[in-house]
A and B are shown apart, each in its own frame.
Chain A
Amino acid sequence: DVKVTQSSRYLVKRTGEKVFLECVQDMDHENMFWYRQDPGLGLRLIYFSYDVKMKEKGDIPEGYSVSREKKERFSLILESASTNQTSMYLCASRRSYEQYFGPGTRLTVT
């Protein structure tokens, strides 16, 4: 069974902290994605990776970076968290055309 896991379901961080969100998939998928989801805005693509060490900016990459050192793991990094980064963060991996999502991390920055 396909599985995408995210390191935390809920996270509370302070403004200015460095935040790491981890995502792991067990399906040997090459493509992985990070989205943020905000009410009324749907899902917006932050970054995606089409292979190990390969990454491409999505629609809203400002304030974020990513790391993909191993095929199964895709990390999202908030270098200096700000309150406007309070959101639900969703990771996904892709097989063929459909994407498989993790359960999400609800991040609150205070």
Chain B
Amino acid sequence: SQQGEEDPQALSIQEGENATMNCSYKTSINNLQWYRQNSGRGLVHLILIRSNEREKHSGRLRVTLDTSKKSSSLLITASRAADTASYFCATDPYDYKLSFGAGTTVTVRA
């Protein structure tokens, strides 16, 4: 069942700016993951944060997790045209079956 909900649904930013998107979920999780999907293609795993972690970095990506608020955020710093994509959060509720949100569509303008 769908658990994660991303906000905003769409985001348009200038190249070089930062992009922030949020994810809220409803039940306890083992971990939360973020994926990227380029137009009409499959999803690519970006980063995983475990339920006992609060923040994680990977290159220009920064993910936070607040289990008390059941929310996560993904920050992309110094955005590039190649970051134009849809971003999905996925929650893993201890049974390996990920629940995906509807995604945030990010457009990076040159």
Contact of A102 among B40, B42, B98 (CB under 8 A): B42
Q: A42-B103, A43-B88, A106-B40 are in contact. Are A99 and B1 (CB under 8 A)?
A: no
Instruction: Let me know if B100 and A97 touch, CB within 8 A.
Output: no
Most buried by A among B43, B99, B103: B43
Residues of chain B within 8 A of A106, CB atoms compared: 40
| A59 to B97 Cα, complex, angstroms | 10
Contact of B88 among A42, A92, A97 (CB under 8 A): A42
Q: How many residues of A contact B (CB 8 A)?
A: 26
Instruction: Let me know if A4 and B42 touch, CB within 8 A.
Output: yes
Minimal beta-carbon separation of A88 from chain B (angstroms)? 8
Minimal beta-carbon separation of B58 from chain A (angstroms)? 12
Instruction: Let me know if B42 and A104 touch, CB within 8 A.
Output: yes
* Known pairs A42-B88, A42-B101 / 19 extra A-B pairs, C-beta < 8 Å: A4-B42, A40-B102, A42-B2, A42-B102, A44-B2, A45-B98, A59-B1, A59-B2, A88-B40, A90-B42, A90-B43, A92-B42, A92-B43, A97-B96, A98-B33, A99-B43, A99-B45, A102-B42, A104-B41
